[in-house]
Each structure stands twice: as structure tokens, then as C-alpha cells.
Amino acid sequence: MIISSVKKYKKYFTVSPKKVVELLGYNLDFSADHSLSEQDLWLMNKSKMEKARHILKNRWGYPAFREGQEEAVNAVLERKNTLVLFPTGGGKSLCYQLPAIMLDGMTVVISPLVALMQDQVQQLRERGIAATFINSTLSTWEIEQRLANARNGMYKLLYCAPERLQSPLWQAELPKLDLSFIAVDEAHCISEWGHDFRPSYREIRPAFESVDGSVSWIALTATATPEVRADIQDNLGFEDPVIVSKGFERPNLKWWVTATPKKDKKLLEAVSQAGERGSGLVYGGTRRNCERLAREISNRLELKAEAYHAGIEAEERQRIQQQWVDGELPLVVATSAFGMGIDKADCRYVIHYVMPYTLEAYYQQAGRAGRDGVESFPLLLFKSSDLITAEQRIKDSYPEKKQLQHLYDALCDSLDLAVGAEMEKMQQVSLDALATRSGFSKRISRSALNVLSHLSIIQLVERINPQIGIHFVASRDYIRTVITEAKNQRKAIFLDTLLRQFGGEAFGEMKFIDFDYLQQKLNVSPNAVKKGLQILQDHEQLLQFEVTGALPLVKIVDGRRSSLGLSKAELERHRNTLLKKLDYMRGYIQTEHCREVYIRQYFGEEAVKPCGHCDNCLKGQTSDYHFGNSDLLSIRQALEKGGKTVAQLCRQFGWRRERVKKSLSHLIREEKVVERSEKYFWRDHQM
């Protein structure tokens, strides 16, 4: 039964009618007259968690919380500081997004990756939740506008890059914001023991000192050792937090390491076996490897595979990513950047052709397999020289003191920055140009930038998405006249959209926004965007435009110094941490015991029992091992689908006849397989 308006039934509630609508998960304009059912009225008198479950279903479409989520949400709603330790794909973001729309005021989310915060904001908006972000890709004018909107209560969630918290503009606006809750995503970045340490993360708590007593906190990570957990709690001032951990057990993942000097051959064998299971992901390490391996897999196995790396145009990367998520592309061979924030539950296998340097990175990347709980296979291909190469690259990644000073000076010169001068905003830097100016290789130049960032001498932001910049050279009145009098309606819409998106600031200087975002607003193809801008620039002379690639953004902290004044200990501290982490990776590869036990103990779990299904656990049960399981398991899975001849099994797996016969003989002796009319059947699936 529908009963008249919310306002009429205000007496039923202890909160305002507007809050009723928000809590129920509706996306309504409250100036209109809206109705609630008796069920809605009944719900308003229920507990916070009953309301949370209702919102979970209404907004997210989920019938129930996943393991650990309800405990975390409840802790946040009770205004308790909370530390969430969920594995990759465990649903961390819901633990702060859902409470954010239930709590009064606004939630600030600290996120380290530009692309991830933009994706999450887009997803929230699609669910009718008011959210935005501020980071270094936005102009000062746009940031000021979004902060003004936040001050006026227009957002429930505001995503912010950690570097932004130190800006004078943020510090000036912070006391004016109605904050109730702060979420620190990827919280392992706080710790120098974390595999992705960012100095700016250690300044998060001090940045909120002015509102410290009125807000609660949540910190979330998928990869935290005991040292990292302690560092997170200490740095954020969590004295007695609620700790919600799902543990690091992934019972559906069959951890496997194959030591081989012939990685290409083993990779082809692994993909050949795995191709029938579903979609897969190969981490190739370098751009060159990704291109070469994708071609080889496509040509040799007749399995469609494509390379993915930063050298590919953004539009093409988006196509590859979406086709893989949709199941149209069975295999992607990628650098480590692929997979961040991608929600694909049914990836059946992840193969590392190149060894990651930390167990955290390996666990996070390999954990993208089997997020739906179905049996899946992470495989690490390894040869002895990998560890030697990794150790040398870590050492080489830390330039000497003189090299660091020289690169710093070259960077400041490229930015036209005198000693003592400060930068107002981040600027784009070409690594090629910096290498040329410094006389160093691109590798040394990149390493030096990373070290300077770790030491908080510069702010460094990796720009994921290409940008497009526009500077209107004609007056606003003239452009509006062109729009009004245009005979071509498409041209009028195109130009009007540009004017709305870039605003008044673009009349004074070149203003940049994401290319993909502008393309969506214009509702035309990427080529049509560039062609239209070219016409408006060359023929109409209304504007000037630039298209930038995925170049990093840099800002010198506290003005240019004449001397960095760094000690040897400062330079080597983080390097030594990475070398120690490499030792743990070596231990994982070389252990003769259960690999899952090794991983879980590394992350601090105790009394862990062997999994029974990794390669080490299976050594005593089978005689020949391959990707994701033994040859025996591969044959079993093939025969469970129906009888096969030896020739058919050879063609299916690309094996020699002797290898197939050996496995079949073993299975026949074990009374698992029977032979009939030259075909072999699994006993439980006989025809």
C-alpha cells in the first residue's frame, strides 16, 4: 500500500524527511512529493544494520554482505576506528562507501591512483550517490569549484590524492567542510615496509589535525604484513581499532611455481592447457615481452591474445580491457599496470612470465584469478637468473648521490625554477627530454625521479589517462554568437559542449581535462573529437588545443634547493627494505613446503595448515607437474567431458604420444581410467 508523502509522515521518524529518503537509498529530488510504502516506514524504526542491508540491496543490488563486510560497516557506523584487511577482490570499497551515505556529513577518501578514484566516482554516480574527486589532473579553478560544492553539502564522498592534503587551498577549506568520516584506501602505502610506500601517506593524519576530534577513520589494504599493520595503526593514531581480517587464504587458488630455463615453451604449454578453462592473464614484465608473447601465443596456439601496456593508445587500452572483462578476448599479456581496479570475477589463470620483486605484488596480481571462488590457477615461471637480475635492478634503481643531485638540477632547470623559487601547481615532464638534458639514460632518470619522490623532495603523479587542453583565443561573446548563428547543428552542440566543460578559465590559459571524459560528453568518436578541434583551431581560429599522453606530473616540494644534503643512510634505507622483500620472494620460490602456508604466514597468520593442492603439497601424489596441476589432473578434466583417444589428447594438449601414454598408464593402474575401443574414459563419467 502506498501512502501519501514523506513529509506528512515525519512524525514516524527521528530524522528529517530528507534523511529518510537518503537512508532508504532513493535518488529523489525532495522538492517533489514522494511516497513511501508501509514497509519503508517500518524499516525506519529498525537498527542501523537492518537499514544498511536494505541500502545494500537497493543501491548495490546485493542480497547480502560478503564475509567481513558487515562487521566493518557496523564498526564504522558505531564511529569506531577500523582497519580492514581483505584480499584482492574482497569488497573493501563497500566498507566505506555504504556507511558514507548513511552518516551525516561528508566522507573523504584518500586514494593513491588517479584512474581508480575516477572509476569509483563514476560507479557511485551511476548508483545515484553524489561523489567527486580532486587531484593534480584538475585545474586550480576546478578544484576550487569542487571544494565550494563540498562545503555546500553537495557530495557524500570526496576522493582526494594524498599529495593534495598539503596544499594551502585544502588546508584553508578543511575547517569549513562538514566531515564525519575519513577512509584511507591502499593503506599499506603508509609504511616503508609496504611494497608501494608513498611518503605523502605518512602526512595524512597530521593534515586532518584541525578536525581530528570530530571524525572517525577507516584504513583498508589487501597486502599488509604484521610490520605494515603496526605501522599503519601507529601512523594513523589507532589506539584500539576494530580489526576486520578475512585472512589471506584463497582455497580455490592452486599456487604453482615452475622452474625452467625455457620460459617460452612452458608458457605455451600452460596457456594451451588453460585455454579451455576460460579467460586468462599473463604478466609479461616489459612492453617488448608483452608484444612478442601475445604474437607468439596467437600464432602458435590459435588463441586470441593481445598486448596491453602504457605505450598503447588510451582508446585501444580501454577496448582491450573491456573485451577481456566481457569475455570477448580470452587472454591479455600485460605489464603490471593491468588489472588495477578491474572487476572481473571469472579469470581462470594468471601466469607471471616475469617474477615480481615482492610477495605483496605477486599475491595481489595472482589474486586476480578466481575472484568468483571457482578453481583457478596462479603460475610463476622462474629461472635462476631472475633473482640475480632482480637484485641488481633494485640496486641500480638507486642512483648515487651525485647522480641524484644532477638529475634534480636538470629537472628544476627544465621547469625554469630558480633556487628558492616555489611551484604553484604540478607540471608535466617528458622523461625523454629530462634524460637528454641530464645526460642519463631513461632508466636512471626514472629511478632518480622515484627516489626523489620517496624522499619527499618532489611530488610525482603518474598520469594514467591522456589529457586534452583548450585555450579559447576568441572572446566568449563571439563564441556564443557563432553557436547561436551556426547553420550546422552538430557544430553548435560541439562548440557549446566545449564551452560548458572548459569554462571561463580556458579563456585565460590552456586548461586540461581527461580526453575520455570529454569524448563522452561530446558523444562522438575520438577521431571526431580531434578533427572537430582541428577545424575550430585552423579554420575558425576560435581556440588552440593540445593532446598530451600519459606523461608524469611533477612538483618541487618547498622550493628549489641549491643542495639536497642527503646522507647515505637516507638514500639506502628504502633500497634495503626492497632487498629484504626480495629475499621473501626468493623464499616463496625455493620453499619445499606448502606455498599457501608460506604466503599466509608472511602476512602474519598463525597455525596455518597445508592447503593440499599447491605444487609442493602434490609432489608426493603425482610424478609429472605442469601448469595449475599435474598432467594427471589435466587428463582427468579432459576425460570427464567424454571419451578421448590418445591422438585426440595429444592434439588437445600439444603433448608427445609417450607423455600421454605414461599418464594414462598411471591412471589405469590407479583404477581411475578405463579403456574401451581405443578410447579412454574417466570411471565416474563412463559412456
- Within 8 A by CB and 6+ apart from 340, the residues are 113, 115, 116
In three-state secondary structure terms, 625 is strand
Question: Would you call 104 helix, strand, or coil by DSSP?
Answer: coil
The beta strands (E) that lie in 205-354 are given as: 216-221, 242-245, 256-259, 279-283, 305-308, 331-334, 347-352
Alpha carbon 141 to its chain centroid, in Å, reads 28
- CB 229 within 8 Å of CB 83: yes
The three three-digit cell numbers of residue 379, written as one number = 603460475
3-state SS record for 445-501: HHHHHHHHHHCCCEEEECCCCCEEEEEECCCHHHHHHHHHHCCCHHHHHHHHHHHHH
| Backbone angles phi and psi of 679, in degrees to 5 | -110, 150
- Specify the pTM: 0.68
All residue ranges of the chain with pLDDT < 70 are 1-46, 114-115, 136-137, 139, 192-195, 314, 339-341, 343, 462-465, 548-551, 620-631, 633, 684-687
Residue ranges of the domains in the chain?
A: 1-20+31-43, 46-245, 256-383, 391-464+552-579, 467-548, 628-685
CA 390 to chain CA centroid, nearest Å: 24
Distance CA 41, CA 43 (A): 5
CA distance 175 to 173: 6
| CATH top class, domain 256-383 | alpha beta
Beta-ladder partners of 183: 109, 218
Chain segment 334-343, per-residue pLDDT in tens: 998 776 657 6
Amino acid in position 79:
R
CB of 20 within 8 A of CB of 13? Answer: yes
* Separation CA 288–CA 574 (nearest Å): 29
Residue pLDDT, tens place only, 115-160: 678 778 888 998 899 999 987 667 677 888 899 999 999 999 999 9
Give the span between the Cα atoms of 330 and 295, in whole angstroms: 14
pLDDT of 2: 32
621 contacts 613 by C-beta, under 8 angstroms = no
The reply to whether 628-685 shares the fold of 46-245 is no
Query: In whole angstroms, what separates CA 325 from the centre of its chain?
Result: 15
H or E element in which residue 380 lies:
strand 377-382
User: Are the C-beta atoms of residues 594 and 617 closer than 8 Å to each other?
Assistant: yes
Residues 6+ positions from 287 with CB-CB distance below 8 Å:
307, 309, 310, 311, 335
Residue 597 and residue 606: Cα distance in Å, rounded? Answer: 9
Residue type, 604: G
> Cell numbers of 328, please?
570477448
Amino acid at site 130? A
Q: CA–CA distance from 524 to each of 122, 432, 528, 529, 532 (Å)?
A: 19, 32, 6, 7, 10
Q: Which residue has the cell 627544465?
A: 414
Class level of CATH domain 46-245: alpha beta
Other residues' Cβ atoms within 10 Å of the Cβ of residue 601: 15
Q: Write down the pLDDT at residue 136.
A: 66
Answer positive or negative: Cα dihedral of 646, 647, 649, 654: positive
pLDDT at 137: 64
Which residue in 363, 349, 346, 359 sits closest to 282, CA to CA? 349
**Residues 446-487: tens digit of each pLDDT:** 888 888 887 878 877 765 567 788 999 999 999 999 999 888
Q: 244 near 107, Cβ under 8 Å?
A: no
Res 115: pLDDT: 65
Phi-psi region of 470 (alpha: psi -120 to 50; beta: other; left: phi over 0): beta
Grid coordinates representing 594 are: 606448502
User: In CATH terms, is domain 628-685 a member of 1.10.10.10?
Assistant: yes
pLDDT of residue 356: 93
CA distance 534 to 593: 63
- Indicate the DSSP class of residue 559: S
Q: Which three cell numbers stand for residue 184?
A: 584511507
* pLDDT in the model for residue 628: 35
Question: Among the CATH numbers 3.90.120, 1.10.1060, 1.10.3470, 1.10.10, which is that of 391-464+552-579?
Answer: 1.10.10
